[in-house]
Amino acid sequence: MLRRIRGLPCLLLSLSLLSSSTLCEAAVQVNSRLLGKRSLQLPPDRPLNLVSHCNFANETGYRGESVVEVREGVVRSLHTIVDVPELGRCEFMLDGMKQTRVRPNVELRHSRHACVVRMWEQGPKATVSFSNCASACANPEAFKYVWPLLINRDTGHCD
């Protein structure tokens, strides 16, 4: 059962020593203490709009390029290449993917393997993440080093 206390969802568990309301109140207290005076803001519940054609690189040789287009939460284009030094290339493409979510985050699932691509708004940026996508890499070990992309929604630049 899902219960909301102070806007935070709490999973109610049946434990012999603690009542479920005590567990939820404890979770709220821990979250409040960790956040201090900062507030926890939920991402906006609106369709994602994102257009980007960018290149990224760092000093270790990790580099790549990405083309992403999302209009009103519908992915129209996705082609991301990531070169991981000494391990090879990973390539993520819209071909073979089926969109399974539009809001609050976009989700694409590959039809033949477990690869999932998720996109969501994060302030002025958008995040593109990859899960269980080792099959998209020439060397499956390379996927261990693939990081999410952060894309500036205003400029389309990424890192």
pLDDT tens per residue, range 81-128: 999 999 999 999 999 999 999 988 999 999 999 999 999 998 899 999
Task: Find the mean pLDDT for residues 137-149.
Answer: 96
Dist CA 54 CA 64 (whole Å): 9
Cα gap 22→11, rounded to integer Å: 11
Q: Which of 16-20, 141-145, 149-153 has the lowest mean pLDDT?
A: 16-20
Q: In angstroms, what CA-CA distances link 94 with 24, 70, 103, 124?
A: 41, 12, 18, 24
Token pair in block for residue 158? 């990424």
Mean pLDDT of 66-78: 96
Domain boundaries, the chain: 2-35, 50-152
The pLDDT, as a whole number, for residue 35 is: 67
Residue 151 predicted with pLDDT over 60: yes
69 near 75, Cβ under 8 Å? Answer: yes
Q: Which long-range contacts (CB under 8 A, 24 or more apart) does 129-134 make?
A: 130/90, 130/92, 133/90, 133/92
The Cα–Cα gap between 119 and 68 comes to 10
Rounded percentage of the chain residues whose pLDDT exceeds 70: 74
- Give the per-residue pLDDT at 104: 86
